[in-house]
Amino acid sequence: MVGESARRCPPLTNTTVTAPLHAAATKQPPRWDAGDVVTSESCRVGLKVVRGPDWYTSDDADGGEGRAGTIVRKTASPGLVYVQWESQGSEEVNERLYYIVPGRYELCCAVPYTV
């Protein structure tokens, strides 16, 4: 069972989340760590996410572990969201559908990677 602290993501602000500084220095794509799991309570459009502990997709749609995406829209069905992974470009055709349901944590909030 996930602890109560793992159920909260940081609040969405009007500031832009920037890539970790080491990425700019090394000219590599930014790498992100996994924060709290994304739940129906914390799930919102604009939230930056990475792979969660229950990641099941066999492909690297997200660009690989440590790569971020953004929840770009929710569906009319509760618990379904579309994520646009930074590695896939910004076209709608590249959005991927994920389930946000209790006990299945495919996505986590993205937090800057620290060395």
Contact indicator for 43, 71 with CB cutoff of 8 Å: yes
Report the distance separating Cα 69 and Cα 86, nearest Å. Answer: 5
Q: Which residues pair with 85 in a beta bridge?
A: 69
Q: Which domains does the chain have, with CATH numbers?
A: 37-115 (2.30.30.40)
Q: For the whole model, what pTM was predicted? A: 0.72
Which position has the higher pLDDT, 36 or 19? Answer: 36
pLDDT level of residue 79 (50, 70, 90 thresholds): confident
Report the distance separating Cα 48 and Cα 2, nearest Å. Answer: 20
